[in-house]
Amino acid sequence: MLDSDFLSKVQRSFRVVQDEQVAALMEFDAEASLTRDHWERADGGGGDTRILKEGRVIEKGGLNFSAVEGAVTPALAQQLDTSATRFAATGVSSVLHPGNPHVPIIHMNVRYFTLDDGTWWFGGGIDLTPHFVVPAEAKAFHSDLKAICDRHAVADYSAFKPWADRYFSIPHREESRGVGGIFFDHMGREGQVNREEALAFCLDLSGHYAAIYKERAAPFVQSFVHADDMHWQGLRRGRYVEFNLVHDRGTRFGLVSGGRTESILMSMPPRGHWEYDHEPPEGSPQAETLGWLKKGVEGVDWLGQ
C-alpha cells in the first residue's frame, strides 16, 4: 500500500511550488509568453508543463510538475534497486535558458518517490550553468544554497555540494557543466530522516528558486553582447545538450523507459552549436571560463574564492 495521505500532501505542495515559481518568473520577465500543457500518462497520473518563451530574459524555459504512479517495471526495479511492485513519484523540475549569454542557465528539481514496501525518499537540487563564469556570482549562488541547507537538519551543504560537482560533470569533455550547486538523492530511504523535515527542506529550496535566479540574472540582463559571446553561448548550450543526453541519469532513464519525451526534453536549449575542436583564444573570457570548468570533478570551493 502506498501511503496516499502524505503523497497527496507532497503533490499539493509541489503544485503550489510550481505555481509560485511561474508567477515569480512571469513577474520578473513579463514579456515572456507562457503556455500550459496538461498531460496524462497512460499507465497512471500525469502532469502540467509550463513553457516560457521569448521573454526579455528567458529565451526558452520550462517548469514541469508531475504526479505519476504505476507498476514497478523491471527497468525501474533495477534503477531503484527494489523488489516493490507499485510506485508513486511526484516532482517539480525546471530549466531556464536565457537569451543573453551573460545570464546563466539554471536548473532545479525536487522529487518524492514512494514504494508499496513502505520506503520513500526525496531528491533534488539546484545548479547554475553560466556561459561565462564569474567567480563572485558563483560564490553568491553557493552562499544562498548553503544558507538554505543550514536552516534544515536534514540538509548538509558540505555533502550536497560535492554531490552536485560529481553529478554535473561531463566526463567525455573533462569539464564541469557549470559552477555546480547542490544535489541530493535517497533522502529518507534509509529511515533516519523525518519526512516532514525533508519535505520542508525541499519546499524551502524550491520556494527560493525564482528569487535565487533573479539575483544571478538581473545584473546581466542588459549586458552588452558581442557576436563572439553569442557564438560561445551556442557552444556552451551544445555542452548542455551533451550532458543531458549522454550522461544525465534522469533524462536517459526517462527517454529509454517510455517517459514523456516533450516534458523530459524541455531541458534542451532553444539552440545548440557544435564546431570541430573549438579552442577559445588564450586569455579570452571564454578561455577563462573553460579554465574554471576544467578544474576536475572535485569542483571548486566557490565559497572560498
Indicate which residues carry an active-site annotation. 107
Binding part of the chain for a second copy, among 24-32, 47-55, 202-210, 221-229 by CB under 8 A, reads 47-55
Binding part of the chain for a second copy, among 76-84, 204-212, 238-246, 285-293 by CB under 8 A, reads 238-246
Residue with cell 534503477: 79
From residue 195, give the alpha-carbon distance in Å to each of 27, 112, 149.
32, 10, 16
Contacts to a second copy from residues 103-122, by CB under 8 A: none
C-alpha cell at 218: 538581473
Figure out which of the listed residues 22, 89, 179, 268 binds a second copy, where binding follows CB under 8 A. 268
Which of 128, 129, 292 is closest to 212 using CA atoms? 128
- CB 268, min distance to a second copy, A: 4
| Span between the terminal Cα atoms of the chain, in Å | 49
CB 52 within 8 A of CB 25: yes
- Per CB under 8 A, 15 contacts a second copy: no
Please return the burial class of 224, using the count of CB atoms within 10 Å of its CB with bins 0-12, 13-18 and 19+.
exposed
Nearer to a second copy, 52 or 115 (CB): 52
Residue with cell 524551502: 204
Other Cβ atoms within 10 Å of 146 Cβ, number: 18
- Per CB under 8 A, 288 contacts a second copy: no
**DSSP for 224-235, written as a single string:** ---HHHHHHHHH
Binding part of the chain for a second copy, among 2-10, 40-48, 133-141, 271-279 by CB under 8 A, reads 271-279
- CB 114, min distance to a second copy, A: 26
Nearer to a second copy, 114 or 251 (CB): 251
Q: How far apart are CA 159 and CA 177, in angstroms?
A: 19
Figure out which of the listed residues 47, 123, 130, 269 binds a second copy, where binding follows CB under 8 A. 269
Binding site for a second copy (CB under 8 A): 35, 37, 49, 51, 53, 60, 62, 171-173, 234, 238, 241-242, 245-246, 252, 255-256, 261-262, 265-266, 268-277
